Structure 1
Amino acid sequence: MFLTIQDVQKNFGNTEQVLKDINLSIEEGEFVSLLGPSGCGKSTLLNIVAGLLSPSEGQITLDNQKIIKPGKDRGMVFQQAALFPWLTVEENVMFPLKKEMKKAEAREIAHKYLKLVQLSNYAKHSPHELSGGMQQRVAIARALAVNPRVLLMDEPFGALDEQTRSRLHHELEKIWIETKKTILFVTHSIHEAIKLSDRIIVMGTHPGRILKEIRVDIERPREQHLEKMAEYEKEILNLLKVELDKVENEELQYASSY
């Protein structure tokens, strides 16, 4: 299997267990979403895959190579675009390439990916001249410019308005189809996960763990199959409701013991 998460646990301090018994295999070219309530460890797991955090137990391998630190084989897109305000759009996309190649080659690659995200005409603009959605497209272009094998996305559209978010769903799906990148995507949005994913990993909390893996068997574009999407949404809502009810009962029992 291309990307393998095996028996991963993550603790912060001596008592707080954030992730428990995470086992997941992802095929090359697959679009997989991590979905669950706040506190279920979605972003923590993504950061472990990125090499920004280490698991307390277990391991993650990419093409049979153990992940122990960040690497060019994984590109990261965060909720905020995190662009350098003193650099142009073009220079932001070129930034991770500067140490690897000559400036002219880096610029050529930057323009290739700016064209892919439909921002070629904004190469010389500053980030503050762009909308939030356009800034996120620059961040995606920057992540793709290093040609990663896996694109890691941590709620990249969470701060955007619904109209912009919907438009970027369409853009991301086009990019994924064209580049054939493996994408691991963190989201709170059930609709977003169903719309974009081949497979959804529904996570529970206290501690974070996998409740169920759901393969989304709907033809793309999925907006043409709203009834089927609604069926998946109902299934996921029921799963999460049971989980949240369980957490509330545990908290009530804990409070009543004092």
Structure 2
Amino acid sequence: MFLHINEVNKQFLNQKEVSTVLSDINLEIKEGEFVSILGPSGCGKSTLLSIVAGLTKPSSGEVLLNGQPITKPGRDRGMVFQQPALFPWMTVEENVMFPLRKEMKKKEAKETAHQFLKMVQLSNYTKHSPHELSGGMQQRVAIARALSMNPKVLLMDEPFGALDEQTRSRLHTELEKIWLETRKTILFVTHSISESIKLSDRIVVMGTRPGVVLEDIHVKIPRPRANHPQMVTKLEEKIMGLLQSEIDKVVKEELAYAANN
């Protein structure tokens, strides 16, 4: 298996109490799959992504990429955060070239940067500063920068969460085109059911307290998904039911805790 998440657990010490964020997470992801991780706030979605990125160590278990354990960040994994995290003193071109500076000569790095800026439709903005771009355009620069490293896995932590609905919809279409062109393995964290259905081959629905996998759903709706509204609605209802059950469980636990304290 290309990416193997095996018995991953994560605990944090909080005010002398141990809080379990992730419990027995097992996932196998094939090369080229687009997999969304969907769930309520606090279910450990971003923590799991951070473990795959090598930014956070699991309390137990392991993550393997092509059979090799992930213990630290590496160029084989590109990360796109909710905020673009661009260097404000650099141009768009320089931001995309930055991770290539030790791997390529300047001319080659510049050509590579332009290749991916063209892919995200920003060829006319190479000399602009980040502050001159809209939020959606800045996020496209961040995606181009991650892709320029030619990672085996693209990790995306709610990359469109801070954008307006119209911009999000446009970037969904662009990201799907990029994925169809590059066939990169993508692990995508989101709160949005519609976003996950539009983009994903699989949707991993997570529950909370502790974070667990409720269901791993293979999306069998042909692309583009907008052409199959009835199938989309049926899947939305299924996922909403899973999440509503999880919300009801949390509310019940909170009421019981309040009654006993």
The more displaced of 223-232 and 45-54 is 223-232
RMSD (CA atoms)? 0.6
Structure 1 residue 69 displacement after superposition: 0.2
Equivalent of 1:201, from 200, 204, 214?
A: 204
- Counterparts of 1:83 and 1:201, CA distance in 2: 29
Count, aligned residues: 258
Which residue matches 2:83?
80
Shift of residue 167, structure 1, vs aligned partner: 0.4
Letter in structure 2 aligned against 1:62 = L
Structure 2: runs of 5 or more not aligned: none
Q: Partners of 1:109 and 1:119 in 2: how far apart? A: 13
Deviation sequence 1:79-136 (CA, Å, 0-9, x none): 0001000000000000000011211111010001001111011000111111111000
TM-score normalised per structure 2? 0.98
2:234 aligned with 1:231, yes or no? yes
**Partner SS state of residue 59, structure 1:** strand
Matched, 1:11 2:14: no
What do residues 188-232 of structure 1 show as CA deviations (whole Å, max 9, x unaligned)?
000000000000000000000000011111111111111110100
Q: Distance in 2 between matches of 1:22 and 1:154?
A: 18
1:42 aligns with 2:37: no
For residues 250 and 198 of structure 1, the distance between their equivalents in structure 2, rounded to whole angstroms, comes to: 33
Match of 2:131 in 1: 128
CA–CA separation in structure 2 for the residues paired with 1:243 and 1:178: 36
Cα deviation per residue 1:6-53 (whole Å; 9 max; x = unaligned)?
000000115100000100000000000000000000000000000000
Q: Structure 1: where are the runs of 5+ without partners?
A: none
**TM-score in terms of structure 1 length:** 0.99
- Please give the alpha-carbon distance, in whole angstroms, between the structure 2 residues aligned to 1:203 and 1:251: 19
Alpha-carbon distance in 1 for matches of 2:162, 2:140: 13
Which amino acid in structure 2 is aligned with residue 47 of structure 1?
S
Match of 2:168 in 1: 165
Counterpart position of 1:65: 68
Instruction: Kindly indicate whether residue 114 of structure 2 is the aligned counterpart of residue 111 of structure 1.
Output: yes
Of 247, 255, 259, the residue aligned with 1:256 is: 259
**Partner-residue secondary structure (3-state), 1:157:** coil
Q: How much has 1:247 moved relative to structure 2?
A: 1.0
Q: Distance in 2 between matches of 1:89 and 1:226?
A: 38
1:15-30 correspondence runs (5 A): 15-30=18-33
| In 2, Cα distance between equivalents of 1:146 and 1:241 | 39
Which of 92, 97, 100 is residue 97 of structure 1 equivalent to? 100
